[in-house]
């Protein structure tokens, strides 16, 4: 299979997935920062009614896309639930088969993933094995709608260092949260969109965050906060990280049953 991600645009900041009909803000090998569909396309999110072990999920995704007449390269986002946060060593090992699958599907450009991803470690009732919770893909549309997808942003800097590592006091949790908000805002800007256009914001944390709904924390998001925030008692996938934030704009969401 030839690689449909043909490289950087003239702006030098985005990748182009021509076969899948979307553009990508690259981030690293495990996931991209965000994607935005080409004109005439939109993102659809499909949630599984019953989660599926990851080793069965790729065939399910491929069959679903084939069934609706879309190429596998239309796959642009995956949401996973993991049994517990991983050490950095375990994280690297975990990524090996996942990235091999993306390469088979033509969704890697050199060492950059073309797919958004979130890996969430639930604090209550986690799965026994890493499982697929939801996935997203692009489809043609005649609607005048703006959709986009971001990967989950944890409290981990671009240098790989965890923000306020080892500290879960109120001020540290506030610092971690503000970092994720600012990072998501920066990705939105790179995609050419804004908080105003989001349809869903999700926050993952376990420890208390002071004045979470105040003007200087979630209030920084602005008017879209009136739509609410989906909050989970959960952690990012890397041990010692404590906060993760997601944002997306979706018009169509499905609930699928495993066949």
| DSSP at 32 | -
Torsion sign, CA atoms 96, 98, 101, 103: negative
**Segments forming the whole domain that contains residue 123:** 5-252
> Average model confidence (pLDDT) for the chain?
93
Q: In this structure, what CATH number is given to the domain that contains residue 46? A: 3.30.1330.40
In the chain, the number of structural domains is 1
| DSSP at 92 | H
Question: Does residue 257 sit within a domain?
Answer: no
Share of the chain above pLDDT 70, in %: 95
By the 8 A CB rule, do 95 and 82 touch? Answer: no
Q: Which residues, at least 6 apart from 199, have a Cβ–Cβ distance to it below 8 Å? A: 227, 248, 249, 250, 251
Instruction: Give the pLDDT of residue 88.
Output: 86
By the 8 A CB rule, do 108 and 116 touch? Answer: no
* pLDDT tens by residue, 170-207: 999 999 999 999 999 999 999 999 999 999 999 999 99
Question: Does residue 197 sit within a domain?
Answer: yes
Question: Does residue 259 sit within a domain?
Answer: no
Q: Tell whether pTM > 0.85.
A: yes
Tokens representing 7 are 């490289």
* pLDDT tens by residue, 64-107: 999 999 999 999 999 999 999 999 889 989 999 999 999 999 89
Question: Does residue 202 sit within a domain?
Answer: yes
Question: Does residue 194 sit within a domain?
Answer: yes
Question: Does residue 258 sit within a domain?
Answer: no
Q: Helix, strand, or coil here: 49?
A: strand
- Asked if residue 8 has pLDDT above 50, the reply is no
Q: Helix, strand, or coil here: 169?
A: coil
Tokens representing 111 are 């060492």
By the 8 A CB rule, do 225 and 253 touch? Answer: no
- Asked if residue 258 has pLDDT above 80, the reply is no
């Amino acid at each position: 299979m030839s690689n449909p991600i043909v490289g950087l645009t003239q702006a030098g900041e985005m990748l182009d997935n021509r076969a899948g009909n979307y553009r990508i803000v690259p981030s690293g090998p495990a996931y991209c920062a965000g994607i935005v569909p080409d004109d005439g396309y939109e993102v659809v999110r499909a949630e599984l009614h019953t989660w599926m072990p990851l080793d069965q999920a790729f065939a399910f995704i491929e069959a679903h896309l084939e069934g609706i007449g879309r190429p596998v390269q239309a796959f642009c986002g995956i949401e996973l639930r993991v049994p517990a946060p991983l050490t950095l060593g375990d994280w690297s090992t975990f990524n090996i088969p996942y990235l091999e699958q993306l390469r088979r599907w033509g969704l890697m450009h050199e060492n950059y993933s073309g797919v958004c991803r979130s890996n969430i470690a639930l604090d209550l009732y986690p799965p026994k094995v890493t499982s697929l919770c939801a996935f997203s893909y692009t489809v043609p549309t005649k609607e005048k709608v703006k959709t986009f997808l971001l990967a989950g942003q944890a409290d981990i800097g671009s240098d790989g260092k965890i923000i306020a590592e080892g500290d879960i006091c109120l001020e540290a949790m506030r610092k971690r949260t503000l970092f994720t908000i600012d990072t998501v805002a920066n990705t939105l800007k790179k995609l050419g969109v804004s908080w105003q256009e989001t349809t869903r914001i999700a926050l993952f944390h376990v420890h208390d965050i002071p004045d979470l709904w105040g003007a200087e924390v979630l209030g920084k998001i602005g008017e879209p906060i009136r739509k609410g925030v989906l909050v989970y008692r959960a952690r990012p996938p890397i041990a010692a990280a404590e906060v993760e934030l997601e944002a997306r704009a979706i018009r169509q969401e499905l609930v699928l049953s495993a066949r």
